[in-house]
Chains A and B, each alone.
Chain A
Amino acid sequence: MRPPRRILLALDASSHSRAGLRAAVRLAAPTGAELVGIFVHDIALLRLAGLAGATEIDALSAEARAVERARLERQMEALARRARRALAREADRREVRWSFRTARGRVAAELRTAAGEADLLILGVRGWFPGRGPGSTVRALLADPATPVLVLPRKSEIEREVYAVAASPEEAAEVAEAGGAIAAPLGQPLTILVPRGTGERAAGVLEESGLRASVREARIDSNGLPLEPPPPACGLLVLPSTSLRGDPETVRRVLRRAGCPVLVAT
Chain B
Amino acid sequence: MTPPQETAVAVPPSLAADRLYRRCDPAALGFETTDEVEPLEEVVGQPRASEALRFGIGMRAAGYHIFALGPEQSDRRGIVRRYLRRQAAGEPRPGDLCYVNDFDQGHCPDALYLPAGVGGRLSRDLDRCLEELKPALQGAFESEEYQTRRQGVQEEVGEEHEADLEGLREEAAEKELALLRTPGGFAFAPVKDGDVVPPPEFDRLPEAEREELKARIEGFQERLQAILRQLPRRQREVRERMRELNREVARRVVRDLFAELRSEYAEYDAVLEHLDACEEDIVDNVRQLVGGQQQEEDGRRRAAAGAPASIPGGAPELRRYRVNVLVDHAESEHAPVLYEDHPTYQNLLGRVEHLPVMGALVTDFNMIRAGSLHRANGGYLVVDAHRLLTQPFAWEGLKRALQSGELRIESPREAMGLVSTVSVEPEPMPLQVKVVLLGDRVLYYLLSQLDPDFPQLFKVAADFADEMDRTPEDEALYARLVATMVKENELRPFDGGAVARVIERSARLAGDGEKLTAHTREVLDLLRQASHWAGEDGAEIVGAGHVQQAIDHWIYRSDRIRERVQEGILRDDLYIDTEGAREGQVNGLSVLQLGGFAFGRPSRITARVRLGSGELVDIEREVEMAGPIHSKGVLILQGFLGGRYATERPLSLSASLVFEQSYSGVEGDSASAAELFALLSAIAEVPLRQSIAVTGSVNQHGEIQPIGGVNEKVEGFFDVCAARGLTGEQGVIVPAPNVKHLMLREDVRRAAEEGRFHLWAIETVDEGMELLTGRRMGERDEEGEFPEDSINGRIADRLTRFAELRRQFGPAATRDGRRNGDA
Contact = CB atoms under 8 A, between A and B. Distances in A.
Contact of B199 (A51, A55, A59): A51
Given A44-B196, A64-B221, A56 B185 contact: yes
Contact of B228 (A44, A62, A67, A72): A62
B203 interface: yes
B196 A43 contact: yes
Contacts, number: 93
A55 B221 contact: yes
Interface string A38-80: 0000111101101111111111101110010000100110110
A106 interface: yes
The number of chain A residues touching the other chain, given as a range, is 20 to 34
Interface stretch (B159-167, B320-328, B710-718): B159-167
Contact of A59 (B184, B189, B196, B214): B184
Contacts of B228: 57-59, 62
Interface stretch (B174-182, B526-534, B766-774): B174-182
B225 interface: yes
A146 B225 CA distance: 39
A53 B221 CA distance: 13
Contacts of B413: none
Given A43-B196, A57-B221, A62-B225, A132 B187 contact: no
Interface in B145-178: 158-159, 161-162, 165-166, 178
B189 A44 contact: yes
B181 A128 contact: yes
B217 interface: yes
Given A64-B225, A72-B182, A53 B214 contact: yes
A51 B228 CA distance: 23
Name the residue in B161, B186, B198, B231 with the highest tally of chain A Cβ atoms < 10 Å from its Cβ. B186
Given A56-B182, A67-B182, A130-B162, A47 B187 contact: no
B229 interface: yes
A232 interface: no
A132 B165 CA distance: 12
Contact of B203 (A52, A76, A106, A129): A52
B197 A62 contact: no
Contacts of B199: 47, 50-52
Contacts of A59: 184-186, 228
B181 to A, nearest CB: 4
B198 A50 contact: yes
B202 to A, nearest CB: 5
Contacts of A127: 181
A56 B165 contact: no
Nearest to A74: B183
A248 to B, nearest CB: 13
B162 A132 contact: yes
Contacts of A55: 187-188, 217, 221
Nearest to B198: A47
Contacts of A231: none
A44 B228 CA distance: 22
B229 A62 contact: yes
Contacts of A210: none
A50 B197 CA distance: 10
A57 B180 contact: no
Interface in B222-238: 224-225, 228-229, 231
A128 B187 CA distance: 13
B74 to A, nearest CB: 83
Nearest to A58: B185
A64 B225 CA distance: 8
A52 B202 contact: yes
Contacts of B196: 43-44, 47-48, 51
A47 to B, nearest CB: 4
Given A62-B228, A132-B162, A57 B181 contact: no
Nearest to A73: B183
B195 interface: yes
B187 A57 contact: yes
Nearest to A77: B183
Contact of A75 (B180, B184, B214, B231): B184
Given A44-B196, A48-B180, A128-B181, 13 more contacts: A47-B197, A48-B189, A51-B189, A51-B196, A51-B202, A52-B199, A54-B187, A58-B185, A60-B185, A62-B231, A75-B184, A131-B165, A132-B162
20 contacts: A42-B180, A43-B195, A44-B196, A45-B180, A47-B199, A48-B180, A48-B196, A51-B189, A51-B190, A54-B187, A55-B221, A56-B184, A57-B186, A59-B184, A62-B225, A75-B182, A128-B181, A128-B183, A130-B162, A130-B165
